[in-house]
Each structure stands twice: as structure tokens, then as C-alpha cells.
Amino acid sequence: MRQTQTGTTATGDDGAPFRYTSELASRIEQRWQDHWETQGTFNTPNPEGELADPDADVPSDKFFLMDMFPYPSGKGLHVGHPLGYIATDVLGRFKRMCGDNVLHALSYDAFGLPAEQYAVQTGQHPRKTTEENIVNMRRQLRRLGLAHDDRRSFATTDPGYIRWTQWIFLQIFDSWYDTEADGGRGRARPIDELVKEFDSGERPVPGGRAWVELDESERRRVVDEHRLAYVSESPVNWCPGLGTVLSNEEVTAEGRSERGNFPVFQRNLRQWMMRITAYADRLVDDLDRIDWPEKVRTMQRNWIGRSAGATVRFATDAGDLDVFTTRPDTLFGATFMVVAPEHPLVDGLTAASWPEETNDAWSGGHPTPAEAVAAYRAQAAAKTDVERQTEGRDKTGVFTGSFAVNPVDGNRIPVFVADYVLMGYGTGAIMAVPGQDERDWEFAERFELPIVRTVRPPDEFDGEAYTGDGPAINSSNDQVSLDGLYKDAAIAAIVEWLEKAGHGTGTTTYRLRDWLFSRQRYWGEPFPIVHDETGPIAVPDDQLPVLLPEVPDYAPKTYDADDADSTPESPLARSPEWAEVELDLGDGPKRYRRDTNTMPNWAGSCWYHLRYLDPTNDEQVVDPEIERYWMGPQPQRRGSGPQDPGGVDLYIGGVEHAVLHLLYARFWHKVLFDLGHVSSDEPYYRLFNQGYIQAYAYADRRGQYVPAEQVTEAVTDGATSYSYEGEPVSREYGKMGKSLKNIVTPDDMYDEFGADTFRVYEMSMGPLDQSRPWETRAVIGSHRFLQRVWRNVISEEAGATVVSDEPAGDETRRILHRTIDAVRADMDAMRFNTAVARMIELNNHLTKLDTVPREAAEPLVLMVAPVAPHVAEEMWSLLGHDRSLAYEPFPVADPALLVDETVTCVVQVAGKVRDRLQVPPSADDDMLRELALASEPVQRALDGQGVRKVIVRAPKLVNVVPG
RNA sequence: GCCCCCGUAGCCCAAUAGGCAGAGGCGGCGGACUUAAAAUCCGCACAGUGUCGGUUCAAAUCCGACCGGGGGCACCA
């Protein structure tokens, strides 16, 4: 045994050689970790294929459990990181003991900016640093004792994985979205089928010409426009500080990059896009079929931003002006129109001179509309989107000098230019209905425009614009009357009229835009695409994966963060011998140019759930039989009904990926579902967001952070103060980080207490979905608990079991079974904090006994096992069992022992407790009423007052109401 | 500005379905053990549930307003 020098749990030389100290814990833990690994204890059988168990069928009950996988960051882990991994491990171990076939593994999201940036900092190849980081992270996590099937662990950077990421990309590239399929819901179909439909004439060729008349490159251009992955020249988010373009989801509301917080500019560039907008409806609708936190579903709904309404056409002298509105029922209240400063029709609308009606507010004091509009546009252009939003909401704008005709009543209404209308949403033009829209009301007041109410507000309404529902008023013409109709009926009526009269159509718009998929970075999956003079061509399947070239400099070309006019440059283009290839794609060897973009790091995380299922398959992305077993719909088991979309049984991770990873992954999965590669049409059936472990940090007078673990706390007159080396410091609450000098690592915890203690502590800190502060000094409580369990079962002197084989006493037995009952329910509901509390309670009871009966010790050990698996295995083994307890059935409570012989009945007078009675559980109302009224303390409390009423809730409560 | 979540002992947190405010842990205090300390063990104290009002026989729990903390959305037509 090693000698210890320091540590709060050091063992003295004087006896107790088998006390559960951090040293003993470490030895037990590492031994069991080796045992599990060599025995393959947590290897999970597949129903077939390479990972099937040839000697046994798979259990029909299965549980597929996933963590959001980590970036192998070079910074290492702090104690906050493993929280979710411990929780999933505890649940997985519990489910396994309940008989489920549990699939649980952990892989690494190893491409992407963090890995690359770390590599750039250290001046080494990203592959090298990434691999080193993975090794280190695996070591730190192995020491936690996670029950993972290591055969199923991979990194997104593995060539065997890249091969399938690229294959899925090509599936998307080789697909189009048939909006008419499946009764109008739409479905992705292979692009070949589109070509056949063009060829046969079944589907008209865009442009009106026949398919046979098109030459090869014309045909390719037509087809390319239908692909779900396509190249387009369009305004994109260019981030010079990162040297790459970004997707909308990676840009914050402030117009900066989510990673690195660099400025982002709109530039027209040729980039790869994914047609996620084709799936907008299904991505919204299917949120109702999955078990996700409402918060995340709301965030996705907001992001997709579906709104139903109508497009209405207004005639102007400059041509038709289309607007989108969600309230076509208020069309009779449209008293003016507004177009965005960037709207293409602005020039045409700008009149030669001011019409008679113009006042100073409308003209802004300019002599002509042209000058007024030019000045306003210049002013608007000088402002960034952020400034437009942050500079208050005072409505500004200017009259164009033109009028439009309201199609419902023929009224001439003025057209304004104003920046409160955004070019990027709807059509960039609105009909303004001040009576029913707050923004329009403000504008109307400012510019002295008429306001007509077309929805009758309630009598008590005293506000300005009324946006609620109510009967329509002032809304009729010769052909249609909405008057008296409420919103939904009025919308239906007016849309019908608009469509019949040719003035508009019912329309749905979305905020969601197509996903910008290419990046100009080195450390990502190359596109399996080559280009010729016409466009992109897929690299043949047998040539996958396309691996990264070695380049002289893999760092991205970055620019001054504010250099909006710079242009992205792909590091892969620096390797001409890689980028230029000769291939025979069917028409003889030809020279092609490889695509030099890389995929965003989201690509790898879009499908990793599938790789866990069938990690060694190099024939198929996943064996359909295996996918159906683990992820297929299972309405009976979940009780979720015929709408069950299938998917991972439980997926735990932070809420920060609510609209990035989780939206992208759903999209990819749906494409694979449409193409028939998977049987589930959602990837993650149940999602759970764990909270964060945060920490206090302390700063001295100069604002410098001081080492948090050396800060002392003093309470004087009820006020708490903190000091470091005698000097007062101030406390802040937030993240754990090196610069804040408040990092605590799992390794610190392993050394000081052992992994089991660390696990117990993290699980007992509070509910899993809540964020909470780390407190190292409180960890000792969890250590004491395990130490007491150990002492109840094992002799600290002899290291052998001390349990007795005598039957347990009645009280012990009742407490045991109540505990089992509660712990099972808590585990099932992931209330690990209360589960641990119940086990502590039971253990504290056992401590008071002269000897601990085996009848209680063994269930306790089994219940502790999911949370503290190593020490539980050790005790189980010392109790005389020669097999791991990993598959031992979780204890089941005997219902007979859950019923108490007597219960305490509380007797209240006017709601205040006055007496407690011991009664049989079967006591009825009459009996309890009599007992209560006969109670001496009750009579004293009544003090001669009469009894108005007696409320009895048998058998636990009687409330006597005096009066 | 709008929407969502959360406020319970000094601290982290419990409290089935409205029914005794306390399960568990940290810290504190007292004691045992020790030459002493640490560790360990035994015991004890501490809040009336952010504030105000309402519903109810009864409210931490339901309703309303406000205060404080966290998060999301933000001129989306």
C-alpha cells in the first residue's frame, strides 16, 4: 500500500488498513475499470452484423442513450464538463440493471474551428493536436468509470467516418425535393427520377423548352438548380476575422460571429447551400411529435418563423407592388404603403415632383422626391442592421411621391420608403394598417396619415392599434363584405376574394433561410466534388473518402476583422497537385478541379447517432435491420401513438445547440428517411438539457483574479466577506476558466476523493436541469456517505464483509423497501439528487444497527451501483458474488412492506396543528372525526367555541373549523 | 418592449394530487476519540417559503400585481 503524505482523507498507520480513503478508492476504481475493459462488460450486442452476440438473441427492450459529443479541446476538462456524462452513465447502468439492452458510447467531434485554432496556437498540424487531445480526454473520462461500449467510439476525423459524411453529402447532392409527394407534404427523391420526369415530359422543363432540345450542359444546369445541395451566388455572411463565411445560425443578433465575436458582413459570394427551407414545414410540424423541452421547441419554431397570410398585389404607376401580410382581413384599413430602402421598385416609385397632398413631414423638406429618397436611402445605407435596431424605434421615412391602389376599394394610398420595413423578410414591402398594427400606428401619427379601424376593439379597450381578435368593421365593397366576421373567418373570406379577383393569394413565409454549408478553413471534411466548366460533379462512391491534402500552411487566411472587402481563400487551394485531378467519370480521362471548400463542423454531428449503431460498417451508412432495432418507431413501448417518429431514446446535452446542431441534424435525418436509408424520421426522440456547473471567482481591489481555492470566508454580523492573503476580495459568479483562477478538474477530484465520490457529488448537487455553483468543500459529504456504506458492509480492519445472515428486523425491512420504491422512481425520472438522499437515509439507519443484515446490505449495494459503480462492484464481490453486478436485477420493493401499520393523523383547528393521532391506515372519516373532537388539545384550542365544520381526509388529516 | 423559467435555513437543495415546511448534504455549535491536530463518530441549533393581495376549512404549491435572478425573441408585416 502506498504511503500518503497529505490529503484530507489520509489513512494513519495505526489500524484501519481497509478504510475507504481516496487511495483505496483509486485502487478499487482502476482495478474495476481494467476488469470491465478486459471482460467487455459493457459491449452491447447488435441484432446482427459484426457486433452481434452469436450465442444469444438481443433483448427486445432496448435503450439508446446519447450525450452531445465533445470537442477534444486542448484545455482539458473541468468538473463542469462531465456532469451530463455522469448522468447518462447512471441512467444507462440503471436501465441495464432493469433488463434493457443499453447502447451508450462516446465519440469526438474533432473537426472544426476550436481544434484548428488550438493547432494554430501551438503551431502543429491539427490532426496531431486533435489526436493528442482525444487521448488525454479519453484518459480523463475513462477514470470516471463510464459504462461505454468502446468498440463504438470514433472521431469525426476518422477516414472511415469521413467516408460516410461525404456519402451523405452526395445523397443530398443527388436529391431534389418533390413538393407534391406524400399528399403535398413533400419528400426528397433521387435526382435521377427528376431527370426521367423531364425526359418523359411528365414534368415540364423550366424555361419551356423540351428536354431533348437541351444540350448536356444546359441539362446539367437545370438539374443543379433542383439539388438539395447546390452552389449559388448570393449574399452570405463573410467573416474576415475568421477568414470564412458562416451560416445564419452562426451569426448572433448583433451581427457578429457566434465563435470569436468578430464582425460579419454581407457579401455576394459563390457558396454551397443546403435546401433546408424545403423541410421548413416538416421541421416545424414534427416538433409536436417529439419529447423535447418546450423551450427548445419554441426556439426552433421562432428560428423557422413560419407565418401564414397572403400576398396582395397593389397597382402603382411603376408596376405592381406585392406585399406579404399575416392580416389580409385588415386590408380595408390599409391607408398607406411602405417599402424598404433597398426595394428594387423604389427608383420607379420616386415621382418627378411632389403631388399636392404632400406636407413637410412627408417630403422631409426636400424640394423633390428624388432628393428626399436619395437622402433617406443614403442615411439608411450608412447604418448597419444593428444600428437600425439599436437607435431606438422612432419611425423615420419619406414619401416617394407615388400612390398605389388598394385593390379592395380602389383608394389611392401614398407609398413611403422607411427602414422599419426590412428587405430580408416577406417581399420587402408592406401595406400599412395603422388601426391594427402598432408600428404602422406610430408611423401614421408621425406622418399625419389617416387611421381606420377595421376590427372593433372591446369596449374597455383604450389603446392605440388594436391587434387582437374582434368583429370586422368598415370592411366591405360591392363583391365582398367582412363586416361582423372574426379574424379567421375574415381571412378565409378575403383570401378567397383576392384569389378570385386576381389580386393576391394565400401564402406562407418563413424566416428560415437555406443553410450555407461551405467554409474556407482547413480542418473539415473536403467536399466530394470536382468541377468542370459547367459545374459540380460528384466524386464516384468508390473514390471516397476524399481526404485532406497536406498543405504548406493549414492556417486560414484571416484578415483584419473589419476588412469587409476582403475575399475568402480556401487553404485547400494552396495544394494545386491535390486540387487538379485527372479522372475518368465515364467519358474518358479528363482534367477536373477539386472543390477546395470544407464542410462546417456541424456536418459530423448531423449523423453520428447512426454511426454508434453500426460503427464498423463500410458497406452501408447503417444496416437497416440494426437501425430499426435501435431507432425505429416504437409507439407501443413509449405509448406515443402512431405518430411516433422513432429516434434516440434519450439525448442529453446543453441548451446551446437548440437551433444549430439540433436543427441541422433533424434536416439530414429527414433526408435519409425520405431516401429510405433509415426508418426513423426524427433523430432524437427525447431531448433533455442539463444545467451547467458554474463557479465563484474572486477579484482583488485592482480587479485581478486571485486563486479561488485560497480565498477565505468570514461571517460578521450576518454579512459574508471574502479575503485572500488578508486582503478583501469581491466575489463573482459565472463560468469556470483559467483566467478566472477558479478551475477545478476531475483529476483534482480523483486524487482527493476518487471517481465514485465525484460522481455521487455531481449527482446530489441538485436537479440535473438546473445550473448551480461548484463547491469543493462540500464534496466531503459524498465521500463520507460512501465511507459509511463501506463500513456498514466491510470491516476497515480485515477488509472482509461484516454483514450478518440473520433476517432483518421489521423496521429495517420497511425502511429498505420504502427506499427501494423511492429510488427506483427517482432513477427512472432522473431525479438522482433525491435518489442519493434516500440511499443516505437508509444507510444512516443501517449505521445505527449493531450488525447490518445482508438482506439490507445487498440491495443497498445494488442501488448505489449506478451512481458509485466501482465501490459497489468491490462490495458486491466481497459479499461473495463472482460476477459483475452490472447485469444484476435492480432491487424491487415488496408492496406489502410499503403499507404502514399505523399512520400519523394530523389534527388541525382552523388550519393549525393541535394534535397527532396514531391510527390504522384503514381508519374511516367518522372514526377520525370522533377521535379528533375527543382530543384534549383540540378541545383546548376550541376553547368553548362551537364546531362549524370538520374536514376529514382519511387517514392523514382532520381539520376542525370553529365558529 | 414581448414570451418562458426560477426565488424555501448562512449555502446547495427536498416537500406525492393544495393537507404536519425538512429528506439529504455543506458550513456552524457542543461532545467523544487524540498529547495535540486532522480524519472519524455522536448530538444540537437555525427558515415559515422574494413582497403585497386574492381563492380555500387549509397555499411553498392555485390566481393577480410587483421586486430580484436566469434565458429566449426583438421593427418578421
pLDDT score recorded for residue A400:
95
Burial of A818 (0-12, 13-18, 19+ CB in 10 A): middle
Output the average pLDDT for chain A: 90
Strand B–CB A390 distance below 7 A: no
Nucleotide nearest A21 (Cα, C1'): B39
Q: Please check whether residues A954 and A887 belong to one and the same domain.
A: no
Q: Which residues have a Cβ under 8 Å from the Cβ of A920 and sit 6 or more positions away?
A: A901, A902, A903, A955
- Taking the mean position of all CA atoms in its chain, how far away is CA A56? 37
Looking at the domain assignment, is residue A92 inside a domain?
no
Strand B–CB A948 distance below 7 A: no
Q: Which residues have a Cβ under 8 Å from the Cβ of A271 and sit 6 or more positions away?
A: A231, A232, A233, A234, A236, A245, A516, A517, A518, A597
Q: Please check whether residues A395 and A457 belong to one and the same domain.
A: yes
Q: How far is the CA of A5 from the C1' of B38 (A)?
A: 12
Last residue of one domain, picked from the residues A476, A508, A540: A508
Nucleotide nearest A949 (Cα, C1'): B57
In this model, does residue A15 exceed pLDDT 60?
no
Looking at the domain assignment, is residue A101 inside a domain?
no
- A774: domain CATH number? 1.10.730.10
CA–CA distance, A662 with A688 (Å, rounded to integer): 12
In this model, does residue A567 exceed pLDDT 70?
yes
Strand B–CB A833 distance below 7 A: yes
Q: Please check whether residues A316 and A411 belong to one and the same domain.
A: yes
Strand B nucleotides within a 7 Å radius of protein CB atoms: 4, 10-16, 19-21, 23-27, 38-42, 57-59, 70-77
A10 — pLDDT class (breaks 50, 70, 90): very low
Strand B–CB A4 distance below 7 A: no
In this model, does residue A551 exceed pLDDT 60?
yes
- A362: domain CATH number? 3.90.740.10
Strand B–CB A253 distance below 7 A: yes
The verdict on whether omega for the bond into residue A955 sits within 30 degrees of 0, i.e. cis, is yes
Q: How far is the CA of A720 from the C1' of B10 (A)?
A: 8
Q: Please check whether residues A912 and A856 belong to one and the same domain.
A: no
Q: Which residue has the cell 444540350?
A: A215
Could you report the per-residue pLDDT of A332-352, keeping only the tens digit for each? 999 999 999 989 999 999 999
A714 — pLDDT class (breaks 50, 70, 90): confident
CA–CA distance, A930 with A916 (Å, rounded to integer): 14
Last residue of one domain, picked from the residues A484, A508, A532: A508
Q: Please check whether residues A343 and A219 belong to one and the same domain.
A: no
Nearest to A223 by CA among A247, A189, A187: A189
Looking at the domain assignment, is residue A130 inside a domain?
no
Could you report the per-residue pLDDT of A212-221, keeping only the tens digit for each? 999 999 999 9
- Local structure of A713: helix, strand or coil: strand
Looking at the domain assignment, is residue A397 inside a domain?
yes
Residues of chain A (737-756) having a beta carbon less than 7 angstroms from strand B: none
Q: How far is the CA of A799 from the C1' of B31 (A)?
A: 30
Could you report the per-residue pLDDT of A664-696, keeping only the tens digit for each? 999 999 999 999 999 999 999 999 999 989 888
A12 — pLDDT class (breaks 50, 70, 90): very low
Strand B–CB A5 distance below 7 A: no
In this model, does residue A247 exceed pLDDT 50?
yes
Strand B–CB A254 distance below 7 A: no
Q: Please check whether residues A768 and A866 belong to one and the same domain.
A: yes
pLDDT score recorded for residue A390:
56
Could you report the per-residue pLDDT of A716-729, keeping only the tens digit for each? 655 677 888 888 88
Last residue of one domain, picked from the residues A456, A475, A508: A508
pLDDT score recorded for residue A715:
66
A812 — pLDDT class (breaks 50, 70, 90): very high
- A914: domain CATH number? 3.10.20.590
In this model, does residue A939 exceed pLDDT 60?
yes
Q: How far is the CA of A912 from the C1' of B57 (A)?
A: 11
Query: Nucleotide B58: nearest residue by CA–C1'?
Result: A911
pLDDT score recorded for residue A917:
82
The verdict on whether omega for the bond into residue A545 sits within 30 degrees of 0, i.e. cis, is yes
Could you report the per-residue pLDDT of A286-323, keeping only the tens digit for each? 999 999 998 899 999 999 999 999 999 999 999 999 99
Q: Please check whether residues A228 and A365 belong to one and the same domain.
A: no
Q: How far is the CA of A290 from the C1' of B17 (A)?
A: 27
What is the biggest distance separating any 2 CA atoms in chain A, rounded to whole angstroms? Answer: 110
Could you report the per-residue pLDDT of A578-631, keeping only the tens digit for each? 999 999 888 889 999 999 999 998 999 999 999 999 999 999 999 999 999 999
Residues of chain A (752-811) having a beta carbon less than 7 angstroms from strand B: 764-767, 770-773, 775, 777-778, 780-785, 787-788
A395 carries a ligand binding annotation:
no
Could you report the per-residue pLDDT of A360-390, keeping only the tens digit for each? 889 988 999 999 999 999 888 777 665 666 5
Q: How far is the CA of A41 from the C1' of B7 (A)?
A: 45
Q: Please check whether residues A913 and A931 belong to one and the same domain.
A: yes
Q: How far is the CA of A939 from the C1' of B49 (A)?
A: 30
CA–CA distance, A876 with A860 (Å, rounded to integer): 10
CA–CA distance, A680 with A663 (Å, rounded to integer): 16
pLDDT score recorded for residue A632:
95
Q: How far is the CA of A294 from the C1' of B4 (A)?
A: 9
CA–CA distance, A775 with A761 (Å, rounded to integer): 10
Looking at the domain assignment, is residue A378 inside a domain?
yes
Q: Please check whether residues A394 and A469 belong to one and the same domain.
A: yes
Q: What is the DSSP string of A247-277?
A: -GGGB-TTSBBTTT--B-EEEEEEEEEE-GG
Q: Please check whether residues A334 and A413 belong to one and the same domain.
A: yes
Percent of chain A with pLDDT over 70: 97
Residues of A175-184 as b/e, b for ≥16 C-beta within 10 angstroms? bbbbeeeeee
Query: Nucleotide B71: nearest residue by CA–C1'?
Result: A295
A957 — pLDDT class (breaks 50, 70, 90): confident
Looking at the domain assignment, is residue A827 inside a domain?
yes
The β-bridge relationship of strands A187-190 and A903-909 is unpaired
pLDDT score recorded for residue A387:
64
Q: Please check whether residues A358 and A470 belong to one and the same domain.
A: yes
Residues of chain A (142-201) having a beta carbon less than 7 angstroms from strand B: none
Q: Name the least confident of A254-258, A528-532, A788-792, A822-826.
A: A254-258
Looking at the domain assignment, is residue A609 inside a domain?
no
Q: Are A99 and A137 in contact (CB under 8 A)?
A: no
The total of other beta-carbon atoms located within 10 Å of residue A485's CB is 18
Looking at the domain assignment, is residue A179 inside a domain?
yes
Strand B–CB A419 distance below 7 A: yes
Q: Which helix (H) or strand (E) holds A904?
A: strand A903-909
Query: Nucleotide B24: nearest residue by CA–C1'?
Result: A837
Burial of A112 (0-12, 13-18, 19+ CB in 10 A): buried
pLDDT score recorded for residue A175:
98
Cell of A605: 454531428
Burial of A213 (0-12, 13-18, 19+ CB in 10 A): exposed
Domain count within chain A = 4
**Range ranked top by mean pLDDT from A639-643, A881-885, A939-943:** A881-885
CA–CA distance, A330 with A308 (Å, rounded to integer): 15
Residues of chain A (422-481) having a beta carbon less than 7 angstroms from strand B: 422-428, 430, 437, 439
Across A276-284, average pLDDT: 95
A74 — pLDDT class (breaks 50, 70, 90): confident
In this model, does residue A924 exceed pLDDT 80?
yes
Give the CA distances from residue A515 to residues A164, A433, A645, in Å, rounded to whole numbers and listed in that order: 20, 34, 24
The domain of A945 spans: 900-962
Q: Name the least confident of A12-16, A765-769, A777-781, A867-871.
A: A12-16
In this model, does residue A909 exceed pLDDT 90?
no
A524 — pLDDT class (breaks 50, 70, 90): very high
Q: Please check whether residues A796 and A879 belong to one and the same domain.
A: yes
Q: How far is the CA of A294 from the C1' of B3 (A)?
A: 12
Q: How far is the CA of A375 from the C1' of B38 (A)?
A: 79
